[in-house]
Amino acid sequence: MHVDIISPEKILYAGTVNRVQLPGAHGYFELLNNHAPIVSTLKEGTVKVQDEKGVFHHFKIESGVVEASKNNVSVLVEE
């Protein structure tokens, strides 16, 4: 699935990943390939992305919003 993590200042990450873990308003949740469409707010925490090679990337955020549909995930965040 393709993930874009974007802050107002810059693109933090763009690429194909195996999974993404997000700090939702009611706790962490994870998106995998073929996840059902979702829109959710995000709270302060860490966005964790596992790339195709299995390497994890971590991004500290203050808040944000995620939208996922058809294996495309857009994460708009405040760092």
CATH code of the domain in which 35 resides: 2.60.15.10
pTM (2 d.p.): 0.93
Q: Could you tell me whether strands 27-32 and 11-24 are parallel, antiparallel, or unpaired per DSSP bridges?
A: antiparallel
| 3 state DSSP class of 14 | strand
pLDDT band at 38 (very low <50, low <70, confident <90, very high): very high
Residue 29 CA to its chain's centroid (Å): 10
How confident is the prediction for the chain on average, in pLDDT?
96
Q: Quick one: pLDDT at residue 51?
A: 96
What domain count does the chain have? 1
Provide the β-strand partners of residue 13: 5
Show the domain range for 11.
2-78
Read off the pLDDT of each residue in 20-38 and give the average, rounded to a whole number: 96
